[in-house]
Amino acid sequence: MDYPHFFRRNHFKQVNDTYGHIVGDKVLLFIANQLKTMREHVVRYGGDEFIIIFSKNITKKTALRKLNELREGVVHKKLKSKDLSFRVSFSFGVCEFKENDNLTSTVELADKNMYDDKIEIKKKITGI
Q: What's the pLDDT band for 6 if we cut at 50, 70, 90?
A: very low
pLDDT tens digits, one per residue of 73-106: 988 888 888 877 888 888 888 888 888 888 888 8
Alpha carbon distance, N-terminus to C-terminus of the chain: 35
**Whole-number Å distance between alpha carbons of 76 and 53:** 25
Verdict on whether the full-model pTM lies above 0.85? no
* 71 close to 89: Cβ distance less than 8 angstroms: yes
Contacts of 78 (CB under 8 A, 6+ apart): 85, 86, 87
